[in-house]
Structure 1
Amino acid sequence: MNSQAPQSANTAGPASDFEIRDKDNIAAGVDAEVVVANQRVFTGKLAWVFAALCILYTAFHIGVMNFYPLETWVFRLTHVATGLALGFIYFSGRAFPAEPAGKKALSPLEWALLLPAAVMILIALGQIMLAITSGELVKTGAPKEAMLWTFGYPLLGGTTLALIASWVSPTHARDRVALPDVLMAVAAITVGAYIISHAEFLRIRAQVFPHFNDMFASIAGILLILEMTRRLAGLALVAIVSVFILYGFVGPWLPGVLEHKGYAPARFFAFIYTDNGILGPTTAISSTYIILFITFAAFLQASRVGEYFVNFAFAAAGGARGGPAKVAVFSSALMGTINGTSAGNVVSTGSLTIPLMKRVGYTPQTAASVEAAASSGGQILPPIMGAGAFIMAEITGIAYSDIVIAAIIPAALYFLSIYFMVDKEALKKGMRGLPREDLPEFGKLARQAFLFIPIFTLIGALFMGYSVIRAGTLAMAAAAVVSWFTPFRMGVKEILYAFEIAARMSLQLVAVCAAAGVIVGVIALTGIGTRFSSMLLELAGQSQLVALFFAMCVSIILGMGMPTTAAYAVAASVIAPGLIQLGIEPLTAHFFIFYYAVMSAITPPVALAAYAGAAIAQSDPMKTSVESFKFGLAAFVVPFMFFYAAPLLMQGAWYENLHAFVTAAFGIYLLASGIQGWFFGLVNLALRVVLILAALAMIAGGLASDLIGLAAAGVVFAFQRKFVNPANTAKGLD
């Protein structure tokens, strides 16, 4: 989710003004590209030039992954450097004004910053290009002054001045590029060129005796990554990364488990910009799996298959009581699994579902809360899980297919919970669904079910043993082919458009994963992860339950304000080793952390998905985050469920897995009934408590606890049906 408020052509207005103009395509425009408040929209020749650059960026990744593998560092550095360059071109440092400002001359302050910045960055770029072409690189053992005055100092100085200039320069029209951003784009390419050309030396010397140029290039690169992260993901992740960088230098003066010996700046920064940090697992994922599936999502978007998913959800559930809320559950599940961020999913599907929920009687706050909770759930839904499955496979070494299978029951329980919650809300308030005449005809959409083929192609290819990259590429091809049987046939132009929007859609996650790589690098260098695990073991006193509670808190705190990919990667680096040392299975430990990292998007006080929904619904953000937490409460229970009942992660015989799912699903139903205060009618506070306790008993997974839960639910049912009441209960005691 971008730090700036989203603006989109498909954002609906207040419910009272919302009209369904085309019932056969009620979702028209729902997957249109969202233009955020600080995003540039080029016209004319600039639009063609930068569209071509975006197409080349996506084509480079797809080509390398499928046809022409590159050396790892070269591939990842090209991914980061060019991604940053495109990011600075497309996204301004601040939101654009509502009314475009006229072209103004540079102020004296801007001239004072930009002129020397341009000179220094161009000197650094010229020096590294000359060194590459002549072969006169800064080899290991080179004098410390080598290229220092023609590369190191100018690069860092110019980057810093350009960064300051981007903060003080006023924003103008969306269709123009600002000079400070052009200079930072050039600086990003310069950093990438230096590290690529010196990779063979850096692999050896970065951890031992780096050159000063290594340090200056790394510092400039980190500054650019943090600035792009601020523009695209807000200040929360920037603040967290800054704290970790500071920790690298103040460790000798910190107490207890936080103490470390400290590091020289050259060694610290050079180490961070290697495959131990920025070029490590987080960038490995963003440069392969994330780019791949963002491109797949772009193909679905360009072929309008995303619209079909939402239309199908409306046809299936729009007429039920509280229909739009149930549509939000289904459509967010379908769209969210291929969307890299919870908040991004809210913006895309919520612009349609939130006004319609308000139309049938949900309050703005509840409408936004339902959409936020449902959209967050898309991140835990197989087969893609918002790229989380691939990160988990990379970190743990567990087969991707095993992770996807393990995710099925927990994801089903989560969406069942939200479905039950919205259904109980509709029952309490006597809501109805949308009129059937306003909804797409299910029969027509059922005849277009072939549009699900890309998803089935992806799943089938994965389980047939194809690699993730090959499966994703086949799914892209399937999306293009099925479009030929619709009015939105994909030809060369549409495929190139998909490549173009894929590049822009990926820029946020490129920056976020690189920023998370800084944290991973600090953890690896300082050993804080190992020491934190030891502290966790001591605090837990060998109690797995206590350790899991601490892990839950840390995962949520680390995830506040961060996209799922970054939140999980950081939390797993810090927490997972300690949980595994306590004897918790690696799959269970990582799933536990992943769930809470995802749910940080709806956890107050920093709940990005809830805030995105509140902006659309025009509701109070904090109250919306609290209510979205309530709707997503099952996700805070499910991780403890699969800790106690391994069959919930498909870790048992088929009948054990089935028993665990059925009893847990009934427990989820009881939990929703207790929270919403409606079982087979309104229930008072005392009976709500009984229902919640019965739910927890059913969720525990044992036969005895299941019987206790069923008995408690039966008592509540008997009270509601007047089979038992206080009067005849008292007589029975005589």
Structure 2
Amino acid sequence: MSTEPLDTDRDTADKLKSLELVQRPEGSGPGRFIYWAGVLFSLAHIYFNTLGTWSELYVSAIHFGGFALICALMVPGIKGARAATSKAVLVFDILVGLAAIACALYLIGYEDALYDRGVNFVASDWFFSALAILLALEMARRTTGWFIPCLIVVAMTYVFWWGPYIEGMFGFAGLSLETLLYRSYFGSDGMFGSIARISWTFVFMFILFGAFLVRSGAGDFIIELSRCAAGRFVGGPGFVAVLGSGLMGSVSGSSVANTVSTGVITIPLMRRAGFPARFAAGVEAAASTGGQLMPPVMGAGAFIMASYTQIPYVEIIAFSALPALMYFLSVGFYVRVEAMRSHAHAVELETRPLKEVLKEGWHFLLPLVVLVALLIYGFTPTYAAGVSIIAVVVASWLSKNPMGPRAVCDALAQGARNMATTAMLLVAVGLVVNVVAMTGIGNTFSLMVSDWAGGSLLITILLVGLASLVLGMGLPVTAAYIVLATLSAPAIYNLIAETRLVELMMSGGLPEAARMIFMLVDPEKVTALASPMSEAEARALLAQVPQDFTGQLMSQALDPTLLSMALLSAHMIIFWLSQDSNVTPPVCLTAFAAAAIAKTPPMATGFTAWKIAKGLYVVPLLLGYTNLIGGSTEEVLRVFIFGVFGLYAFVGFMEGFLEGRLNPLLRLLSGIAALAMLWPHHNLLIDLAGLALFVVLFLYSRRIAKAAPAA
């Protein structure tokens, strides 16, 4: 067992900085300007989200202009230590930020004039609309690299240039450049459209809420609470990482920031306890990735999902809780297995009494209680976040370090800094979403995926997973989710709804109005639909329904709530699969950040994190094939309970170890038990048989482990 202390020294700090954006120092002249600009801009956003009645388009433009200035000063246009501090680069960055503000002011001042002349562009319209798009490309390049700007250029040139030259289903007649610029800059679906609106409302308010929590000292309380709750379990330090990262991620919404903030504490703890360094880094990366799946914040995903599906935000986070818990339990199973194998359970973790920790920090729980209560009582997420921010400040007055004016300003400034790069990303991605809406390529892509999959939901999910992996090499999680949801959510939704429709046909419960639609296909089969039929017969009959009538058939046959749950399941599947770029080589920034702390090879750490985070691939299958979302209480609990044990059996199969080592035959039996509990079916006996087999393997492996020292 390694007892070498892990130093977070200058070498580790340099590695961490290499993973982040090259930024100007906070104490410099630009740093001071960013600080106070962030304070004022955060206050402006609070006003817009509470008392303001401005046009959403205008606020989106201001959101872009202000954060573009902050981002331009934070992230130099030319990377490198010397270039970042040179006066020439600073002047250029100031001009870039001022140009973005000019674009926002032009939209506000001259939009009415554009409509007064019949939406005919003059020279200034051409100039500012093109400049705004170029600035969005530049901001995306600074914050995420070249992938997103290249994607935007390819998408926009498809509209007015090379789309007409493509033959087949992806051919597009084309639109004029003037139309493209109008819809991208002045239109309500362009760079200042729905994605930008989500950015300055939900995303900003919750990022600001997280900044206030961190500044108030809640982060330290979460770590201490995690140590008390999990420190006494087998492999306690590993469970501290899982629980602490889950709690921190539930409010921060950033997997890399979560890894860096909690990893500097949990990774050394795990190493001292005897866990291998690479495994410790992998656990932290996998657990921090799960932070974006854990309500109430879930990164920006829950807010974008609410906008796409029109399902209330509070319902989305409610349905997300059990799947997220399954993911963290799956990571915890890896921790226990490795603790037994590495004998890390022999090291006792020093913890403070839970009563003492709660006595000192119970007030940090009040803002979360306020947030959840307001959401449950029907208040909007932005209003709930605003009140919760006030609750953070009030709650801090009960601690030893109450937040005064300076601390409040620090939180406002840090919230703006945290939001700057995300705001630029979301505004830029809005241009891609606009192209998809203009050209209808999303429907084409969905039809293509359905055609390739041959109507198989499993193959469709695998194709979307592959696409998310490819997109994740160049896009952050939120951007990958937006692009994939726009392109492939309809295909997954249709297949899930068709599965529910087939189940209804098999039970003989198809409503009469829906049966009448089948008269267009085979009138003789209408009477047969009143009685149960086999799955093959149901699918064969459904395949004969013309594509134009499929939507009407589903609306007639299925309950609207069931359809909305199918839509939510489709988006949830895509959202989960989009997370894999955090832990999947060759990108996996979260794993790289953990590797820098643990001083392990980055790529090897990435593969370890990928293995531990296998729940990212298993849980989406349950979302697609079971009633884990939207089912009755009995159905949901059954899927959850057997799914948890199935994940544990799956870990045993992957590792060849439970409480003790499994020989090849027992390892295979563990895989069979996992398959029995995870495979979608409606046979309770199969679930119980799989559970019984797993319990026998678990107890037998424990017996082997106890006999091993004696031998």
Q: Does 1:54 align with 2:38?
A: yes
Q: Does 1:75 align with 2:59?
A: yes
In structure 1, what is the equivalent of residue 442 of structure 2? 529
Q: What amino acid sits opposite 1:216 in the alignment? A: F
Distance 1:254 1:420 in 2: 50
1:261 to 165, 168, 173: 173
Distance 2:441 2:333 in 1: 42
Q: Does 1:589 align with 2:501?
A: no
CA shift, 1:590, in A, is 0.8
Distance 2:414 2:376 in 1: 29
1:270 to 173, 177, 182: 182
In structure 2, what is the equivalent of residue 109 of structure 1? none
In structure 2, what is the equivalent of residue 287 of structure 1? 200
1:554-595 CA distance string (max 9 Å, x none): 233333343332221111111112222335311111111111
In structure 2, what is the equivalent of residue 612 of structure 1? 593
Could you say what secondary structure the match of 1:682 adopts? coil
Does the CA-based 8 Å contact 1:318-1:433 persist in structure 2? no
Q: What amino acid sits opposite 1:626 in the alignment? A: F
Pair 45,15 (structure 1): closer, same or farther in 2 beyond 3 Å = farther
Q: What amino acid sits opposite 2:271 in the alignment? A: K
1:353-385 CA distance string (max 9 Å, x none): 223322223333222211111111011111111
CA shift, 1:524, in A, is 1.2
Pair 68,434 (structure 1): closer, same or farther in 2 beyond 3 Å = farther
1:584-642 CA distance string (max 9 Å, x none): 31111111111111222212232222222223223222222211111010120101112
CA shift, 1:196, in A, is 2.0
1:37-74 CA distance string (max 9 Å, x none): 51112437655443221111100000111112211111
In structure 2, what is the equivalent of residue 155 of structure 1? none
CA shift, 1:666, in A, is 0.9
CA shift, 1:200, in A, is 3.5
Q: Does 1:187 align with 2:102?
A: no
1:193-235 CA distance string (max 9 Å, x none): 22222333567999x7544533432332222222222222233
Does the CA-based 8 Å contact 1:561-1:608 persist in structure 2? no
Q: What amino acid sits opposite 1:261 in the alignment? A: A
Distance 1:541 1:204 in 2: 51
Q: What amino acid sits opposite 1:275 in the alignment? A: S
Does the CA-based 8 Å contact 1:85-1:189 persist in structure 2? yes
CA shift, 1:483, in A, is 0.7
1:226 to 122, 137, 144: 137
CA shift, 1:300, in A, is 0.6
Q: After TM superposition, list the pairs within 5 Å mapping 1:254-653 onto structure 2.
A: 254-273=166-185, 274-432=187-345, 435-437=348-350, 439-447=351-359, 448-584=361-497, 585-646=566-627, 648-649=628-629, 651-653=630-632
In structure 2, what is the equivalent of residue 679 of structure 1? 658
Could you say what secondary structure the match of 1:240 adopts? helix
Does the CA-based 8 Å contact 2:140-2:424 persist in structure 1? yes
Does the CA-based 8 Å contact 1:364-1:619 persist in structure 2? yes
Pair 266,501 (structure 1): closer, same or farther in 2 beyond 3 Å = same
CA shift, 1:187, in A, is 1.1
CA shift, 1:314, in A, is 2.1
In structure 2, what is the equivalent of residue 116 of structure 1? none
Q: Does 1:41 align with 2:29?
A: no
Q: What amino acid sits opposite 2:354 in the alignment? A: F
1:250 to 152, 162, 183: 162
Aligned length: 625
Does the CA-based 8 Å contact 2:673-2:690 persist in structure 1? yes
Distance 2:417 2:347 in 1: 36
Alignment TM-score, normalising by the size of structure 2: 0.82
Could you say what secondary structure the match of 1:171 adopts? helix
CA shift, 1:406, in A, is 0.9
Q: What amino acid sits opposite 1:467 in the alignment? A: T
Could you say what secondary structure the match of 2:169 adopts? helix
Pair 664,201 (structure 1): closer, same or farther in 2 beyond 3 Å = farther
Pair 722,390 (structure 1): closer, same or farther in 2 beyond 3 Å = closer
CA shift, 1:35, in A, is 11
Distance 2:596 2:28 in 1: 32
Does the CA-based 8 Å contact 1:680-1:720 persist in structure 2? yes
Pair 238,433 (structure 1): closer, same or farther in 2 beyond 3 Å = farther
Does the CA-based 8 Å contact 1:323-1:433 persist in structure 2? no
Could you say what secondary structure the match of 1:260 adopts? coil
Q: What amino acid sits opposite 1:16 in the alignment? A: E
Does the CA-based 8 Å contact 1:319-1:434 persist in structure 2? no
Q: Does 1:16 align with 2:4?
A: yes
* Range with bigger deviation, 397-406 or 242-251: 242-251
1:497-547 CA distance string (max 9 Å, x none): 111111111001101101211110111122110111121222222333322
Structure 2 unpaired stretches of 5+: 498-565, 705-711
CA shift, 1:352, in A, is 2.2
Does the CA-based 8 Å contact 2:676-2:686 persist in structure 1? yes
Distance 1:35 1:70 in 2: 38
* Range with bigger deviation, 523-532 or 248-257: 248-257
Distance 1:38 1:82 in 2: 20
Q: What amino acid sits opposite 2:69 in the alignment? A: A
Pair 196,686 (structure 1): closer, same or farther in 2 beyond 3 Å = farther
* Range with bigger deviation, 292-301 or 669-678: 669-678
1:654 to 625, 633, 636: 633
Distance 1:88 1:76 in 2: 18
Distance 2:156 2:264 in 1: 38
Alignment TM-score, normalising by the size of structure 1: 0.80
Structure 1 unpaired stretches of 5+: 1-13, 21-28, 102-169, 724-734
In structure 1, what is the equivalent of residue 146 of structure 2? 235
Distance 2:696 2:90 in 1: 69
Distance 2:146 2:277 in 1: 27
Could you say what secondary structure the match of 1:257 adopts? coil
Q: What amino acid sits opposite 1:73 in the alignment? A: L
Distance 2:33 2:623 in 1: 51
1:65 to 34, 49, 53: 49
Distance 2:674 2:148 in 1: 36
Q: What amino acid sits opposite 2:656 in the alignment? A: G
Pair 213,693 (structure 1): closer, same or farther in 2 beyond 3 Å = farther
2:648 to 666, 669, 672: 669
Distance 1:597 1:332 in 2: 19
* Range with bigger deviation, 532-541 or 633-642: 532-541
CA RMSD of aligned residues (A): 2.9
Distance 2:78 2:672 in 1: 49
Q: What amino acid sits opposite 2:426 in the alignment? A: C
Distance 2:414 2:153 in 1: 31
Does the CA-based 8 Å contact 1:536-1:578 persist in structure 2? yes
CA shift, 1:391, in A, is 1.0
Could you say what secondary structure the match of 1:256 adopts? coil
1:659-696 CA distance string (max 9 Å, x none): 22111111111112222221231012332232123212
Distance 1:548 1:257 in 2: 22
Distance 2:50 2:345 in 1: 50
Could you say what secondary structure the match of 2:300 adopts? helix
In structure 2, what is the equivalent of residue 172 of structure 1? 85
Could you say what secondary structure the match of 2:189 adopts? coil
